[in-house]
Amino acid sequence: MAINSRTKGANFEREIGNLLQEKLSLTNPVKRILEQTRTKELPDLKMGRWCIECKRYGPGSDPLDEWWDQVIASSGPSGLPALIYKFNRKPIKVRLLGETISDELIGSGILIDISFDDFIELLQLRFQKDIDFHNQQDEVQ
């Protein structure tokens, strides 16, 4: 039986939320923002300043430009955009702005794709305050 794309997307969002909670030892779960199905320009997941868009797709290897446009729109001026994507038989990858990794790349518009495990390590090394902020929330939106 074929799985509907909305269900597939929701399942992937839950999977990523669970992986973030597990790998970052978060005390609060990373929950799906359910309002995103009705309101444009909301991310799938939020953790600290991170606005995360999740895309699970069958064939392919490169994310679509509109996926990146979507995460940029949902992150606004103060959010940190991350596109987490997976194609069939390929590992989970994360697309970030280069300036997230290096101040020398601020304003360059360079995009960098890294493995999910490298994204976790980056969060632990450079974005502990976002992890701490997420853990201090009484109730995750």
pLDDT of 86 reads 96
pLDDT of 62 reads 92
Instruction: State which residues of the chain have pLDDT below 50.
Output: 1, 140-141
pLDDT of 36 reads 57
Q: Of the candidates 117, 75, 129, 64, which has an alpha carbon nearest to the alpha carbon of residue 97? A: 75
Bridge partners, 112 (sequence order): 96
Which numeric CATH code is attached to 5-130?
A: 3.40.1350
Rounded CA-CA distance 123/141 in Å is 20
Taking the model in full, what pTM does it have? 0.89
pLDDT of 32 reads 80
Contact 97, 134 (CB under 8 A): no
Q: Of the candidates 44, 22, 10, which has an alpha carbon nearest to the alpha carbon of residue 131? A: 22
Rounded CA-CA distance 109/98 in Å is 7
pLDDT of 1 reads 45
**What are the structural domain ranges in the chain?**
5-130
pLDDT of 138 reads 63
Rounded CA-CA distance 139/122 in Å is 25
pLDDT of 141 reads 45
AA identity, residue 42: L
Rounded CA-CA distance 17/40 in Å is 20
